[in-house]
Amino acid sequence: MPLSALFAGVPTLSPLPTLEAAHITSDTRQVSAGSIFFCIRGFTHDGHDFAAKALELGAAAVVCERGLDLGERQILVPDTHEAYALCCANLFGNPQRRLRLVGVTGTNGKTTITHLIRDVLQGLGHKTGLIGTIETDLGGVTFPAKYTTPDPLTFYSILAQMADAGCEYAVMEVSSHGLDQKRVAGCRFAVGVFTNLTQDHLDYHGTMEAYFQAKKSLFSLCDAGVVNLDDPYGRRIVQEAPCPIRSFSTSQDSADYTAKSIELRADGSSFAFVGSGMIARVKFPVPGEFSVSNAMAAIGACLALGCDLQKTTALLAGSHGVPGRFEVLRTGTPYTVIRDYAHTPDAIEKVLSALRAVTRGRIMILFGCAGNRDRKKRVHMTDLAARLADFVVLTSDNPRSEDPMQIIEDAKPGLLQHSTPYAIIPDRYEAIGWALSHCRQGDTLLLAGKGHEDYQVLKHGTIHFDEREVVAELLARGISEKTEDEQGGTDETFGNCRGGRQQRQL
């Protein structure tokens, strides 16, 4: 492709060389003869430091934000993140212009809401693609996702495949990282949805305000927005967004759409969706007030797209939920086992509150804190778990390059603020077996943090780890509920901390 076509509409600060681009990339490992290399400033590395190497590997030119004394072989731009995304869009013929885009952002709820919107649109006869945390759906062909919002080259390739497959819509989760790094530059969203904002990703953004500004930037790319009025940051977006906004709430009549007569049950929830001149009764097969909020967001987005309210709510009633999102595992036991992706303080609080309303016995939560992620949220997670559950099993969750026991030590102070009994078992497989063996009739065991994931990321590599399979295997081996006498009393007993387990008994 001629550079003049590749850079069409892309701001530049230097003349474009007259040459053909054989390939574009921001990764020196992908550089080949005739490539255009984009110098991207990353979280740990700066692509400008690898510009000379890219030229040695055969790159025809490098795109940079500052002069590198490379003569005509450098193309200077104000922002390489934006330039890369816009060039990727041009490379694939701007497929975003052949689709109606729906973007969902926020800390929690993105995956559920995007799936619900996709399911409604498909149910109404519109071929729809999806890009998200769990999977990428090209309008009928699905494959596992690696990142919530892919890099621009992958992202625009996916949109091109959707458009070529005849999709009318593309519904996507838009992460704060993706927005901050301008991976979706060049897109115009028919609708943007904001769920909420709670502590997460501060290792990257630094402050909640920076995190918020990244999320809010989605609405500068939208024709319309649907925003959660129950969230304080959502209320800010209502005031600050540059596009028209419709708000939703589970409690506030000042919202454009309000949930009334909410009923929460173990098998789901129901409510009246009320707006100006409209009302519909909604039955949704996932329990919890957070599920009502997710359903409200999906309905609001579909209305913004011109969908009929009654048809939309009828299709939601037939939804089967999302794998790993408040998913009840089939165990055949007198207690309930649920797996959920809750991996932030807010998500843990919401899912435990939902379980409290429908659990007859005790609630046991098993979770860990991810390695190489925001360390500040660890103690908040254990604090909420110990406050809202009847028993806590603290274990590992993708420790990555960190020492699993150090992660646990970072999180442990939150447990010690409460008298809630707990067990610390670093090995997640062993921890699940221990938790299953201590469940009784009427209890609920929540496996939190991994949700749909079928792997565990360890220091020396990634292993297969699917909690549905783990639970089934352990139960097949004869793990069963124990009696109160078998479980002992409530005195504090501790084992060897390093590599062993610590326990305040059940």
- Within 10 A of 330 (CB to CB), how many other CB atoms are there? 10
What is the Cα–Cα distance from 133 to 148, expressed in whole angstroms?
4
State yes or no: 339 annotated in a binding site.
no
Determine whether the annotation assigns residue 28 to a binding site.
yes
Beta pairing partners, 458: 461
| Rounded-to-5 percentages of helix, strand, coil across the chain | 35, 25, 40
Closest C-alpha among 44, 47, 43, 92 to residue 74: 47
Whether residue 148 is annotated as binding a ligand: the answer is: yes
Nearest-angstrom CA–CA distance, 107 and 57? 40
Count other C-beta atoms under 10 Å from residue 412's C-beta.
18
Confirm whether residue 499 is marked as ligand binding: no
Beta strand ranges found along 14-107 (DSSP E) = 23-25, 35-38, 61-64, 74-76, 100-105
Between strands 23-25 and 35-38, the pairing is parallel
Q: SS3 sequence, 73-95?
A: HEEECCCHHHHHHHHHHHHCCCH
3-state secondary structure of 215: helix
DSSP string, 407-419: HHHHHHHHHHTS-
111 annotated binding-site participant:
yes
Instruction: Give the start-end residues of each E strand in 414-491.
Output: 422-424, 444-448, 455-458, 461-464
The two tokens of residue 21 are 């681009």
Do 194 and 225 contact (CB within 8 A), yes or no? yes
Query: Annotation-wise, does 181 bind a ligand?
Result: yes
Q: Establish whether 481 is an annotated binding residue.
A: no
> Is 258 labelled a binding residue?
no
Q: Is 9 annotated as a binding residue?
A: no
397 in a labelled binding site: yes
Determine if residue 149 is labeled as part of a ligand binding site. yes
Q: Is 166 annotated as a binding residue?
A: no
Q: And the tokens for 393?
A: 């099993």
Is 275 within any annotated ligand binding site?
no
Q: Is 228 annotated as a binding residue?
A: no
**Residue 311 is labelled as binding a ligand:** no
183 is in an annotated binding site: yes
DSSP 3-state of 367: strand
CA distance 342 to 324: 9
- In whole angstroms, give the CA distance from residue 17 to residue 131: 35
Is 207 marked within a binding site?
A: no
- Tell me, rounded to whole angstroms, the distance of Cα 384 from its chain centroid: 20
Does 449 belong to an annotated binding site? Answer: yes
Q: Which residues are annotated as a binding site for meso-2,6-diaminopimelate?
A: 373, 397-400, 449, 453
Q: Which residues are annotated as a binding site?
A: 28, 106-112, 148-149, 175, 181, 183, 373, 397-400, 449, 453
Q: Which residues are annotated as a binding site for ATP?
A: 106-112
